[in-house]
Amino acid sequence: MKFFELINKIQERKDGKIFNISLPEGFDNFEVEGITNDSRLVEENYIFMSVKGYKDNGDNYIEDALKSGAGAVITESEYSGKKIIKANEVRKLTAVISSEINGNPSEKLKIIGITGTNGKTTITYLIRHFLEMDGKKCGLIGTIDYLSGNKRQGASLTTPDSPQIHGIFRDMADEGIEYCVMETSSIALLLDRVYDIDFSAAVFTNLTSEHLDLHLNMDNYFKAKKILFDGLKGNSFALSNRDDLYGERILENTKAKKIYYSVEKDSGLKAVDIKLDISGLEFSLNGNQFKSKLTGRFNVYNILAAVGVAQELGIDYKTSAEYLKSFEPVNGRFNSIRLKNGAYAVIDYSHTSDSLKNAITAAKDIMNQRPEKGKIITVFGCGGNKDRIKRPEMGKIAVNNSDYVIITSDNPRYEEPMDIIKEILTGIDKKYNNYTVEENRSLAIAEAIKISQEGDIILICGKGHETYQEVKGKRSHFDDREEVQKYEKLILK
């Protein structure tokens, strides 16, 4: 597509005027080969979108983009040059151009957005499982992978930037995929990465403290999530967790069909007679029995959300219940490993205060349904250069609800691990002495295994599917599961 043709299409759109695109005199038309907001990815005849970020400014890399062969640079700044185009709303414009040059592939897909603090990954995989079991082709965009047919990409962001999103959509459309289920983060919504995508459905899981380094407060965080539901059209549907504090508020202004799921409050999708075990769970929903290899009360909510979506897409409860039996737990989401001494190690991604509480509560629920009782040993840390507000709260939750806690490191990034740990410790009441500090995560896992006994549950929280430890900008291989397997052989002979 020629650049002038592209600009004409954008200006003819209903929202075309908001961009106020202004081309310099003597601008040379060219065949557009791609678009990016990362100057390192610019190639010949690419459009470089100069975006002002929270930590950096794309204008600082305009010259680099031009040297790499950019055919045009679009910026909101007063930056002059033969290839420099002035425009408004560059983030939204990035999404629109990305869609156009890929042939508007999202129009060929039924896109289901999943948002909330916790549960997004499991719900996306559950919905995809139900659809694929039912003979439908479904792609996935999420925290762990981007899946398009047989093509798998490791995820760099929960919701990638719009040039990558529409490239993935194009791959899906080219392969005849009908559905795409995608995790839709608050950051992606706020930064217009999913601007102008016509979602067929959306799911809200819950809202607890997270990303407050960006959003500053819970009200702003809520408003960012609400963008997804406020943008739904009348022919779409929205599912929300009625038990969550924000569950009803988030659907207040949506034009979509409203559906609620719950465990406590009344709703059209309410689970009853819940039974939990380390090996799985079961519950009843509207007279249908559901059994799963997943466990924990939080996974009951995740299953309800996915079953609700499936129901709206023509897969009845009885069929969903059958499909659910073959669903394997998602990598890094409450994955249990039985140790030689009869204890269980559980690898879980819980890295927020609420998800940590959910993981510990799940372990306690499992323990309470056993005739024999064991200890809950929690190993966790907090990531560096991220939301600091949650650190004391996570310390309080872990110590108040576990039998024993080992506080350790978790991707300190550019912070000192002990500085992070000290902030975690500020949330712990001095009356508690059921914890210790071991900065080295490997040794922390070893200590947990060493003190465990038959019937105990060791919760190793924070990293889940991740296979690296990030320190001072460098990533080195580190896998919680591998650490468990290593120390089980060394310690439990």
- Is CATH 3.40.50.300 correct for 3-101? no
CA pair distance 223, 216, nearest whole angstrom: 12
pLDDT tens, 89-147?
A: 999 999 999 999 999 999 999 999 999 988 999 999 999 999 999 999 999 998 778 88
Pick among 3.90.650.10, 3.10.20.30, 3.40.1190.10, 3.50.70.10: CATH of 105-324: 3.40.1190.10
Residue 215 pLDDT greater than 60, yes or no: no
Q: What is the mean pLDDT of residues 421-427?
A: 96
Nearest to 90 by CA among 194, 186, 169, 20: 20
Place 157 in a pLDDT band, splitting at 50, 70 and 90. low
Looking at residue 213, its pLDDT comes to 59
Report how far apart, in Å, the C-alpha atoms of 188 and of each of 34, 143, 165, 185, 325 are.
21, 13, 11, 5, 33
Tokens of 213: 């380094």
Looking at residue 210, its pLDDT comes to 56
Place 492 in a pLDDT band, splitting at 50, 70 and 90. confident
Looking at residue 369, its pLDDT comes to 80
Residue 80 pLDDT greater than 90, yes or no: no
Topology, domain 335-491: Protein-Tyrosine Phosphatase; Chain A (3.90.190)
Task: Provide the b/e sequence for 85-108 (b: ≥16 CB within 10 Å).
Answer: bbbebbbbbbbbbbbbbbebbbeb
Identify which has the larger pLDDT, 215 or 327: 327
Residue 216 pLDDT greater than 70, yes or no: no
Looking at residue 149, its pLDDT comes to 72
Looking at residue 405, its pLDDT comes to 97
- Calculate the average pLDDT of the chain: 93
Looking at residue 396, its pLDDT comes to 96
Beta carbons within 10 angstroms of residue 230's beta carbon: 15
Name residues whose C-beta falls within 8 Å of residue 273's C-beta, 6 or more positions apart in sequence.
282, 283, 284
Nearest to 378 by CA among 358, 401, 355: 401
Q: What is the mean pLDDT of residues 228-245?
A: 97
Residue 211 pLDDT greater than 70, yes or no: no
Looking at residue 150, its pLDDT comes to 72
Phi, psi of 189 (to 5 degrees): -70, -45
Lowest mean pLDDT among 49-53, 89-93, 390-394: 49-53
List the domain boundaries for the chain. Answer: 3-101, 105-324, 335-491
Residue 225 pLDDT greater than 80, yes or no: yes
